[in-house]
Structure 1
Amino acid sequence: MTKTQLSAALRVPPAAPAEAATFFTARLAFQADVSDVHASLESDSPGFVLVDSRGDAAWAQAHVPGAVHLPTAEIAERAASLLDPAVPIITYCWGPGCDGATRAALAFAQLGYRVKEMIGGIEYWIREGLPVEGPDGVEQRVADPLTAPVGSAHCAC
């Protein structure tokens, strides 16, 4: 590659370090990953409520054990009766191809709740081999080796 040719990845140059730090700090304030959510839920005091924002059929099919079921369309009506506004919320939906958790997080934020979105949704929860609860109780599948480290629950990142 000559000096005049830019790589496709650098056609738009990286932001200045201070701008990048601001962006990535903000991103972490709005999102949590599946592994961190799981580790927090396994602790004595996770410090948040996990909310599944999918509809009834999806919830019945499988959900994260211990999550609260509150479909996005019902948040404005039911949140105050189910959730303490002093406790942060983390929302999830199907997965990266779905913005349902984002819409749910927005609905909670508009009601005054502190909220984050679990990136990856239940898809990556399952792909990382974490337990789900469904009609037959709690089950756990083998982690997908293309999305989770083999033999470990954490990627050490």
Structure 2
Amino acid sequence: MSQTPAPVSLVLAFPAPTAEQSRDYMAAKLSYHADAWDVAEDLRHGIDAIVVIDTRSPAHYAAGHVPGAVSFPHRTMDEQSTAHLDRSKVYVTYCDGIGCNGSTKGAYKLARLGFQVKEMLGGLDFWIRDGQPVATGPERGAMPAARPAIECAC
């Protein structure tokens, strides 16, 4: 009578990193990204060390954007168009969401030009899913002080 072999773990087919490796990797990952909730809280509290940049077209920006975000399409980012930006700030880029790489292209271009950047995970899609307000029109608008009825679950 043959025995059935023990199942092989698909999760563990590649060994897990050490705790130190995980710590270092997760810290690095958090250095590159910000989530919509944290960006909203910083905007709500008037944290001026960050500048939120909508990397989409002006038409998409006008249709709906993060209140307080600057419209700066990634396609127009170059040495000349970024000359006025404050290099002491951290620029947080976003686009439509995970199916769009405009925020990644914007973050790349800004970093290549010497700016500190983070990318907002999930873009405007996750912003809206978090119940955050959306500004419309060509003006930046401002983040309201009141929090949305939905609370962050993380």
Residues 5 and 44 of structure 1: CA distance in aligned 2, closer, same or farther (over 3 Å): same
Q: 1:43 is matched by which residue type in structure 2?
A: H
Higher relative contact order (CA 8 A, sep 6+): 2
Runs of 4+ in 1 over 6 A off after TM superposition: none
Are the aligned partners of 2:54 and 2:71 in contact in 1 as well (CA < 8 Å)? Answer: yes
Residues 43 and 3 of structure 1: CA distance in aligned 2, closer, same or farther (over 3 Å): farther
Q: Which of 97, 102, 105 in structure 1 is aligned with 2:104?
A: 102
Match of 1:18 in 2: 20
Taking structure 2 as the reference length, what is the TM-score of the superposition? Answer: 0.83
Matches within 5 A, 1:7-156: 7-76=9-78, 77-81=80-84, 83-135=85-137, 151-155=149-153
Taking structure 1 as the reference length, what is the TM-score of the superposition? Answer: 0.82
Q: 1:118 is matched by which residue type in structure 2?
A: M
Q: Between Structure 1 and Structure 2, which shows a larger proportion of helix residues?
A: 1
CA shift, 1:6, in A, is 2.7
Q: Which runs of 5+ in 2 are unaligned?
A: 142-147
Are the aligned partners of 1:91 and 1:101 in contact in 2 as well (CA < 8 Å)? Answer: yes
CA shift, 1:80, in A, is 1.7
CA shift, 1:45, in A, is 2.2
> May I ask how many residue pairs the two structures share in their alignment?
142
Identity %: 36
Are the aligned partners of 1:35 and 1:153 in contact in 2 as well (CA < 8 Å)? Answer: no
Q: Deviation string for 1:78-125 (max 9, x for gaps)?
A: 1222x2111111000111122211111111101111110000100010
Match of 1:142 in 2: none
Coordinate RMSD, CA, aligned: 2.1
Aligned-partner Cα distance in 2 for 1:106–1:91 = 10
CA shift, 1:153, in A, is 2.5
Match of 1:146 in 2: none
Q: For residue 132 of structure 1, give the secondary structure of its aligned residue in structure 2.
A: coil
Aligned-partner Cα distance in 2 for 1:107–1:47 = 20
Q: Deviation string for 1:23-74 (max 9, x for gaps)?
A: 1110000000000000010003242000000112211211011100100011
Aligned-partner Cα distance in 1 for 2:127–2:107 = 18
Aligned-partner Cα distance in 2 for 1:64–1:151 = 17
CA shift, 1:151, in A, is 4.8
Residues 104 and 16 of structure 1: CA distance in aligned 2, closer, same or farther (over 3 Å): same
Q: Which runs of 5+ in 1 are unaligned?
A: 139-149
Q: 1:63 is matched by which residue type in structure 2?
A: H
